[in-house]
Homo-oligomer: A and B are copies of this chain.
Amino acid sequence: MSGELELLKWIHARLGKRSGRIAVDSGDDAAVLKFGRERILFKVDSVLEGVHFRRNDPPEWVGHKALARPLSDIAAMGGVPVGALAALMMPRSMPMARAKLIYRGMEKLGVPVVGGDISTHPGKLAISVSVLGDMRGARPVLRSGAKPGDVLMVTGPLGGSIRGKHLKFEPRLEEGRIFATRLRVHAMIDISDGFARDLGHLCEASGVGATLFGPAIPTMTGSSIKGALYDGEDYELIIAAPPATAAMIDREGLGISVGMVRSGRGIRMYDNDGLVAVIGPHGYEHKLG
């Protein structure tokens, strides 16, 4: 996986020569392109058999996940999804009925699949879904806006998503939209790589550090705090909001406070007995003492 990260950074670094239309590039949850006065979000994500789903997972849920993943990125920018394209790469032996069930799973998310591409190949099933979204006049919420003193919040319990949530999660589109408009937050990212790593991405992009209070981090039933920090594929949102906004978010039940943004670098986690973990910029925990 570190090779993939290195490659993404290499690609990202080469994206310097930009046309005037590109407002934010691939470093955020989605690319932002300017079309006249509209800002359009553009994102692709892939799911692969054996990596993101298992051969025996119900095809409707495989389709659901394939579309819900890029939708989660649109949510993390505060956008409204407009349409999707689905590219299916199917094993030659896959029955068409299974492909149809995959599409039905996508349809249920309510975002029109406006096109696609179907290929058969000797390999396993892979699905790439691209999504277009728009901001309807709002400004996209980036990873890079967090400020010292902001409250860090998450939109739901973390950890253990492998037991089902990773396939059946609902992208936080409504919440993300509220955080871009009525209860405007400073920074936002969705949790795909794991809370610690994605918080690390947000902190790195914002040039800040974070202090977490471990017992405040909501965990899924059956998940440990370690699971909540590192499991990944929660598809909840992490937000950084000024305290007054955070209080309103808390009052409306849209987020749970888990810590604060501070100046400096790195993530420090405390429990009732004091400092319990220091998490590096890429989300790897350093053992203490």
Determine if A179 is an interface residue (Cβ-Cβ < 8 Å). Answer: no
Chain B residue nearest in CB terms to A23: B114
Chain B residue nearest in CB terms to A6: B96
Partner of A44, one of B4, B21, B35, B128: B128
Chain B's nearest CB lies how many Å from the CB of A159?
A: 23
With A46-B87, A85-B31 in contact, do A26 and B124 touch (Cβ < 8 Å)?
no
Q: Are B6 and A87 in contact (CB under 8 A)?
A: no
With A31-B85, A46-B87, A128-B128 in contact, do A112 and B19 touch (Cβ < 8 Å)?
yes
Determine if A132 is an interface residue (Cβ-Cβ < 8 Å). Answer: yes
- The quantity of this chain's copies bound in the complex is 2
Chain B CB count within 10 A is highest, among A51, A112, A124, for A112
Q: Are B40 and A35 in contact (CB under 8 A)?
A: yes
Determine if A126 is an interface residue (Cβ-Cβ < 8 Å). Answer: yes
Q: Are B126 and A123 in contact (CB under 8 A)?
A: yes
Q: How far is the CA of A19 from the CA of B117 in the complex (A)?
A: 21
Name the segment of A10-18, A181-189, A213-221, A258-266 touching the other chain.
A10-18
Determine if A43 is an interface residue (Cβ-Cβ < 8 Å). Answer: yes
Determine if A278 is an interface residue (Cβ-Cβ < 8 Å). Answer: no
Determine if A130 is an interface residue (Cβ-Cβ < 8 Å). Answer: yes
Name the segment of A99-107, A163-171, A233-241 touching the other chain.
A99-107
Interface residues of A, CB < 8 Å — how many? Answer: 64
Partner of A22, one of B6, B49, B83, B117: B83
A89 contact set on B, CB distance < 8 A? 46, 48, 89, 126, 128
- Cβ < 8 Å to B, chain A residues 125-176: 126, 128, 130, 132, 134
Chain B's nearest CB lies how many Å from the CB of A147?
A: 26
Chain B's nearest CB lies how many Å from the CB of A258?
A: 28
Determine if A42 is an interface residue (Cβ-Cβ < 8 Å). Answer: yes
Q: Are B22 and A114 in contact (CB under 8 A)?
A: yes
A30 contact set on B, CB distance < 8 A? 115
Q: Are B132 and A19 in contact (CB under 8 A)?
A: no
Q: How far is the CA of A37 from the CA of B35 in the complex (A)?
A: 10
With A30-B115, A132-B40 in contact, do A14 and B107 touch (Cβ < 8 Å)?
yes
Q: Are B31 and A114 in contact (CB under 8 A)?
A: yes
Q: How far is the CA of A40 from the CA of B35 in the complex (A)?
A: 9
Q: Are A116 and B37 in contact (CB under 8 A)?
A: no
Give me 4 other A-B pairs in contact (C-beta within 8 A), A14-B107, A31-B83 excluded. A11-B116, A33-B83, A42-B115, A46-B87
